[in-house]
Amino acid sequence: MDRAQAAIEAAKGSTYPLLAATLVAVMAFYPIYGSEAGAGEYCQNLFTVFSAALILSWVVAMMITTVQCVDLLPELKPYLFMRVQIASRTLLSYNDNKNKN
C-alpha cells in the first residue's frame, strides 16, 4: 500500500464518527438559536459562528490532515514490508493453532 492510499484509508475510518460528533455538538447549541426569548436573539450569532467553526474543522480534519499525512508517512522499504508481513502471518498462524487446541 502506498502512502497516499494509507492516508486515505486512515481518514475513511474516522469520517462518519467525527461527522456525527460534530453534528451532535452543533445541535447542542441549537436550542439557543431557536429560542424566542431575549437570550436567543442575542446568542443566534454564537450558534452560527460555533456551527461554522465546527463544520470547517471537520473539513480540515478530513481533507488537509490527510494530505499532510502523505508527506509525513515514510516510504516503506520492500524488505521491511516483507518482514512485517512474515511476522504478522506467523503470529496469526500461532494464534489459530492455539485456539484449535
- How many separate domains does the chain show? 1
Best CA proximity match to 23, nearest among 54, 46, 49, 45: 54
Domain that holds residue 24: 3-74
Whether 83 is covered by a domain: the verdict is no
> Within a 13 Å sphere around the CA of 75, how many CA atoms are in the beta-carbon half?
3
Residue 84 lies in a domain: no
Q: pLDDT for 10-37, tens place per residue?
A: 888 889 999 999 999 999 988 888 888 8
Residues 30-75 pLDDT 10s: 888 888 887 777 788 888 899 999 999 999 988 888 888 888 877 7
* Residue 47 maps to a domain: yes
- Mean pLDDT, rounded, for 72-85: 72
**39 and 32 Cβ atoms separated by less than 8 Å:** yes
Residue 93 lies in a domain: no
pTM score over 0.95: no
Instruction: Report yes or no on 46 lying in a domain.
Output: yes
- 23 inside domain: yes
Task: Determine the Cα–Cα distance for residues 55 and 48; give it in Å rounded to an integer.
Answer: 11
Residue 54 domain flag: yes
Alpha carbon distances (Å) from 16 to 29, 68, 69, 71, 74: 20, 20, 19, 24, 27
